[in-house]
């Protein structure tokens, strides 16, 4: 697995990260079972064996059970903590928290950020996080409160670096006005059939553009040394495992293009999808979340695939379902 250096940090991370959302088994309010814990560690070990050293969490994943299950990694290999990087997210509060009638919402208040980190550290059985991301923008954000929380966490040594998830360029600009620490990541949905991040830059000034706010988020992140992380890089298997619909359906055409290129290069379809993301000069880091070791291997094969400009555009057009302007 190739590595990449993250600007403004001492982090040298695998080009592909592993997303731990599903290793907690389920989202029910039930305790972890021994079998789920065992399976979680086997899944994480498979990622380690493939050269992945960066692991992505969120405090809400499986209602905290994914973080808890991951901590079993230290039982037999405590020294491993110093060799890998842990990232978690906070800011989403699920319904019934703290009261039965509380809705699912976002909360970037200082108190909630601090209490969320404390709970994640306890579940992960570690005394520090390498990275903390704010999980989806909070319309009621008071950036001064975020800055207070970041200062507290950074100065206490509980969080080394910070980032965001699903933030626009304008939201990042607002946050950066108050936060002293560098924002090093912005995790967004991005894959061959979810190309809004790229479309922002090519549908500008078109007569009938797709729905886009023209935030220039991709360019903003490149200008400010913020690495984009791509969640759902495999589009939940849509392009490699499900073939339905008419042959004229744009999705079917995209599936066929991925399959054709995979055959030509002698790799799995997942490798083509990951290689397409890695080919972009922004050094986007895909976050794969499959718990299937074979599919995990297939995705990581994308680290070995080189796409020409023409091949990249052929896939891009197929994924968009229409020609570029």
Which residues are the active-site residues?
61
Backbone angles phi, psi at 205, to 5 degrees: 70, 20
What gap in Å lies between CA 265 and CA 257, rounded to an integer? 12
Q: Maximum distance among all alpha carbons in the chain?
A: 60
How does DSSP assign 4-31, residue by residue? EEPTTSS-EEESSEEE-TTTT--SSS-P
Q: Which two tokens stand for residue 184?
A: 């090093």
First to last CA, the chain: 36
Which residues, 6 or more positions from 223, have their beta carbon under 8 angstroms from its beta carbon? none
Strands (E), the chain: 3-5, 12-14, 17-19, 54-56, 85-90, 92-93, 105-106, 129-135, 159-165, 183-189, 227-231, 285-288
What gap in Å lies between CA 233 and CA 47, rounded to an integer? 16
């Amino acid at each position: 697995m190739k590595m990449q250096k993250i600007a403004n940090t001492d982090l040298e991370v695998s080009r592909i990260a592993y997303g731990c959302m599903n290793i907690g088994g389920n989202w029910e309010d039930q305790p972890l079972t021994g079998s789920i814990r065992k399976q979680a560690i086997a899944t994480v070990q498979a990622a380690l064996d493939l050269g992945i050293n960066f692991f992505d969490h969120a405090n809400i994943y499986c209602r905290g059970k994914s973080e808890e299950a991951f901590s079993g990694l230290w039982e037999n290999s405590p020294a491993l903590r110093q060799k890998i990087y842990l990232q978690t997210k906070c800011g989403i509060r699920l319904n019934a928290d703290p009261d039965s009638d509380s809705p699912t919402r976002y909360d970037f208040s200082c108190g909630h950020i601090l209490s969320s980190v404390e709970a994640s550290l306890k579940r992960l059985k570690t005394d520090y996080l390498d990275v903390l991301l704010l999980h989806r923008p909070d319309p009621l954000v008071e950036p001064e409160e975020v800055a207070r929380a970041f200062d507290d966490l950074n100065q206490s040594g509980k969080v080394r670096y910070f980032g965001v998830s699903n933030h626009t360029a304008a939201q990042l600009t607002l946050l950066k006005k108050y936060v002293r620490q560098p924002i090093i990541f912005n995790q967004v949905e991005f894959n061959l059939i979810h190309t809004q991040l790229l479309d922002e830059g090519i549908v500008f000034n078109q007569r009938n553009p797709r729905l886009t706010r023209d935030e220039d988020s991709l360019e903003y992140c490149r200008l400010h040394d913020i690495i984009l992380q791509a969640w759902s890089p495999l589009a939940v298997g849509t392009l490699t495992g499900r073939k339905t619909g008419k042959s004229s359906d744009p999705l079917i055409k995209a599936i066929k293009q991925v399959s054709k290129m995979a055959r030509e290069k002698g790799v799995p379809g997942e490798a083509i999808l990951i290689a397409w993301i890695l080919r972009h000069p922004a050094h986007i880091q895909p976050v794969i979340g499959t718990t299937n070791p074979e599919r995990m291997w297939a995705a990581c094969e994308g680290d070995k695939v080189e796409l020409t400009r023409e091949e990249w555009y052929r896939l891009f057009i197929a994924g968009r379902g229409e020609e570029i302007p």
